[in-house]
Amino acid sequence: MTRLGLERISCFRGGRLLFEDLSLTLLPGEGMLVTGANGVGKSSLLRIAAGLLAPSSGRVVREGAVALSTEAAALDEDRDLFAALDFWARLDGRDEGAVALALAAIGLAPLAEVPVRLLSTGQRRRATLARVIASGAGIWLLDEPASGLDADALGALSAAMAGHLAAGGVILAASHQPLGIKMRELAL
């Protein structure tokens, strides 16, 4: 069963207390949108949830695989989009079909043969979302998933998120923009 739980975590970074005593539990089919001003600790919260950053105190419980989308695309610039995504899909134990489906879901299918370095900012963001979709992971951690997306891509993102929740997945997203899907909100 997919589950993400943060138990009384605090984050102290760069001599500043970003948040403390924060608890949340996301059960299958539950999503949460983290909002708040720049620098308030949204990205740190996501990195703590991903296990990349140790919380200053508290505990993170993850049941299920994690997929993370951030500004850093982690796609090889000189490979074409499909091959760059396929590298991660293979590590996740997924086949080429999963990559093709993810590209189609986020509207990138026509760009599958284009080298990653030629992609625009919005296309890059969509590519990181395609990686998340293709991963098959139960827990999605999305840091500003809508930044740079046009209306069509935003619709595709909303649909993908709704599909993931309906399939029993868990989403923790940090965003300034509405994501077009109804989720609990957490204001930091």
Partner 1 sequence: MSVFLALVRRDLGRAFAHGGAWLPVIFYLLVATLFPFAIGPDAALLAKVGSGALWTAALLAALLPVERLVRPDIAAGVFDQLAIRGQSDEGVAAAKLAAHWLSFGPTLMVASLPAAALLNLDGQAVRRLEIGLLLGTPGLAALGVAVAALTASLRGAGALIGLVMLPLAVPLLIFGASPGGGALKLLAATSLLFVAGAPFVAGAALRAGRN
Residue ranges in contact with partner 1 by CB under 8 A? 47, 50-54, 65-68, 70, 72-76, 78, 87-88, 90-92
Nearest CA to 49 among 88, 5, 1?
5
Residue 38: name the closest of 122, 143, 155, 114 by CA: 143
Q: Which CB sits closer to partner 1, 50 or 100?
A: 50
Nearer to partner 1, 68 or 105 (CB): 68
Q: How far is CA 156 from the centre of its chain?
A: 14
Which is closer to partner 1, CB of 91 or CB of 151? 91
Helix 96-105 to helix 151-166 angle (10° resolution) is 130
Distance (Å, rounded) from C-alpha 153 to C-alpha 85? 18
Measured from the CB atom, is 51 or 97 closer to partner 1? 51
**Nearest distance from residue 182's CB to partner 1, in Å?**
27
Strand partners, 150: none
Q: Residue 25 Cβ, how far from partner 1 at the closest point, in Å?
A: 20
Distance CA 174, CA 23 (A): 16
83 burial via Cβ count (<10 Å: 0-12, 13-18, 19+): middle
Identify the CA nearest to 19 among candidates 68, 57, 59, 60.
Answer: 57
Nearer to partner 1 (CB atom), residue 51 or residue 163: 51
